[in-house]
Amino acid sequence: MTMTPRLRKFALTAHVTFSVGWLGAVAGFLALAIAGLTSQDVQIVRAAYLGMELTAWFVIVPLSLASPLTGLVMSLGTTWGLFRHYWVLVKFLMTIFATIVLLLHLQPIGHLARVVAETTLIRGELGGLRIQLVANAGAAVLALLVATTLSVYKPRGMTPYGWRKHHEERTVSEP
């Protein structure tokens, strides 16, 4: 089923808004993770990790769920399809993977936020976890930039299913 032009524009606007919002929120999370890792000021460290937990739960998680959902609606409601073009399928799988990884990393984020809420981090304490948060956020920004690039450039390449559908449509449209 193909969407009407008005509905397609609405769905596209929602998808772009959620996707770009997710990228921006993760970039902000990365900035907080770097500040928490590198700052000498105890209050900045505390604020950074508490802010990261709030940002993760109330901004990043909802956007990470809305983005693939609206992407699925867009793919199924337009001629692009979900399984016709490699770039659509790769982008969808990347966003699902990124969402799963995010959900798995909420526990360490919460742990670090609880530690700074209850005590003062001593320089170097939980260093591995703090570095992991910076690395994960950096990888997430990179993955979301790749997904954005795929959306803009739409590299050629149809899946075998896409070729089959393409030939079926051409056969039906020929007199």
Q: Tens digits of per-residue pLDDT, 46-98?
A: 999 999 999 999 999 999 999 999 999 999 998 889 999 999 999 999 999 99
Question: Among 31-35, 96-100, 115-119, 169-173, where is mean pLDDT lowest?
Answer: 169-173
Question: From residue 37, how far is each of 18, 26, 105, 109 by CA, in Å?
Answer: 28, 16, 17, 13
Range list of H helices, 41-159: 42-55, 61-77, 86-104, 106-118, 127-153
When the pLDDT of each residue in the chain is averaged and rounded to a whole number, the result is 92
Global pTM reads 0.89
Position 172 scores a pLDDT of 78
| pLDDT greater than 70 at residue 138 | yes
Q: What digits encode the pLDDT tens for the residues 106-115?
A: 999 999 999 9
Instruction: Please report which helix (H) or strand (E) contains residue 10, including its range.
Output: helix 5-38
Answer positive or negative: Cα dihedral of 26, 28, 29, 33: positive
| pLDDT greater than 70 at residue 175 | no
Residues pairing with 85 in the sheet: 158
